[in-house]
Chains A and B, each alone.
Chain A
Amino acid sequence: MREVLFFIAALGAIGGAMGVVLLRNAFYSVLSLVAHLVALALLFLLLTAEFLAAAQLVVYAGAVMVLYVFVVAYIGGVDDPGLRQGGAVTRLGPLFAGGILIELCIAVIGSGLDALDGQGPHVAAGFGSPAEVGRLLLEKFLVPFEAASFLLLLAAVGAIVLARRRTGLLDEADELPERAGEVPIGGGGEPHVPEEDPHPPAGTAEGPGDPTVERGDDREPVEAT
């Protein structure tokens, strides 16, 4: 029974991983990662790590992925040719990754660790419960625990700093790039002079975020992707 579950979960994990890497649409990649995370949670359960399975689902699949979804919705799919475009790095990357995979497999399978061949020692019923993990967090690993919380604080502050508005809503820099003819959300304020933009976003069929629009700052235009 356990083997069946393992194989199902393994298939889900690998399938999700492949989906993340291979799918062209960023949104689909996010969704396949979610599937991957759920499969991983199942694997954790198989390893009697119940607390961590729950944490994985709640934190990772629940919170982090939602964050991802928001950002992908905001930015939208960049026209990413994915794996099709070629280029030396794109060809060599999977090759070396495969090499690393083979090395790791050799290391694991050929290692002299006998314990790997078993299913692990016979553990008590409460193995992997929140109580056990919590006890370790507060006794032996108190300092890493506190450091991790500190890190979370830092990340929160950093995210806010990065994403904050500099001035009010009426700042040009914060306005959403327009589609032709639309009135921007929030009133807009001063009328926009369309001829400021050297390339008015005519190609909006690709979605907002046409990266070729320049506003006079010296960024090099990206080649047509």
Chain B
Amino acid sequence: MSITWFVVLSAFIFCIGAAGVVTRRNPLVVLLSLELMLNGGNLALISFSRMLGNHEGQVFALIVMVVAACEVVIGLGLIVAMYRNRIPIDVDGVKEMRG
């Protein structure tokens, strides 16, 4: 069992998350997939931190967790505001970027 396995696993998790972001229409699930990607990244960071033998990767991963939490908070707040304003909760429904 080498570090490689962890890194490959993190690649797996990242790609599953990416597929989820592109595929799902519910913004909640999109955010969840985003979390998956971040977690994949975290796993890689910690693997490399173990490989190099210093804690910098772990600190980085901690900060990533903080950022993920903030992002989740704002994202969910947005979804709640959408719901309150009777905007359809559907990623395909917002097409103002068209053209």
The answer to whether A and B touch in the complex, with CB atoms under 8 Å apart, is yes
Give A residues with C-beta under 8 Å from B: 2-3, 6, 10, 13-14, 17-18, 20-21, 26, 29-30, 33, 36-37, 40, 43-44, 47-49, 51-52, 55-56, 59-60, 63-64, 67-68, 71-72, 74-75, 77-78, 80-83, 85, 89-90, 92-94, 96-98, 100-101, 104-105, 108-109, 115-121, 123, 127-128, 132-133, 136-137, 140-141, 144-145, 148, 151-152, 154-156, 158-159, 162-163, 173-174, 177, 209, 211-215, 217, 219-220, 222, 225
Choose one: B5, B28, B66; the contact of A26 (CB below 8 Å): B28
Cα A10 to Cα B5 in complex, Å, equals: 10
Q: Are B36 and A26 in contact (CB under 8 A)?
A: no
Q: Are A117 and B2 in contact (CB under 8 A)?
A: yes
Choose one: B29, B42, B46, B55; the contact of A20 (CB below 8 Å): B29
Question: 23 A–B contact pairs at CB < 8 A?
Answer: A13-B13, A17-B12, A36-B39, A40-B43, A43-B9, A51-B58, A60-B69, A68-B31, A74-B80, A80-B26, A83-B24, A94-B23, A96-B22, A115-B52, A127-B55, A136-B55, A141-B59, A144-B59, A144-B63, A151-B66, A156-B73, A173-B85, A219-B86
Q: Are B81 and A163 in contact (CB under 8 A)?
A: yes
A contact face: mostly helix, strand, loop, or mixed: helix
B contact face: mostly helix, strand, loop, or mixed: helix
Chain A residues with CB below 8 A from B53, complex form: 120-121, 123, 127
> Interface size on B (CB < 8 Å)?
74
Cα A222 to Cα B13 in complex, Å, equals: 32
Q: Are B13 and A155 in contact (CB under 8 A)?
A: no
Chain B 51-67, CB-CB to A under 8 Å as 1, else 0, gives 11101101101110111
Choose one: B3, B18, B20, B43; the contact of A118 (CB below 8 Å): B3
Chain A residues with CB below 8 A from B19, complex form: 21, 93-94, 97-98
Q: Does B97 contact A (CB under 8 A)?
A: no
Q: Are B23 and A71 in contact (CB under 8 A)?
A: no
Cα A177 to Cα B89 in complex, Å, equals: 15
Chain B 72-98, CB-CB to A under 8 Å as 1, else 0, gives 111011111101111111100100000
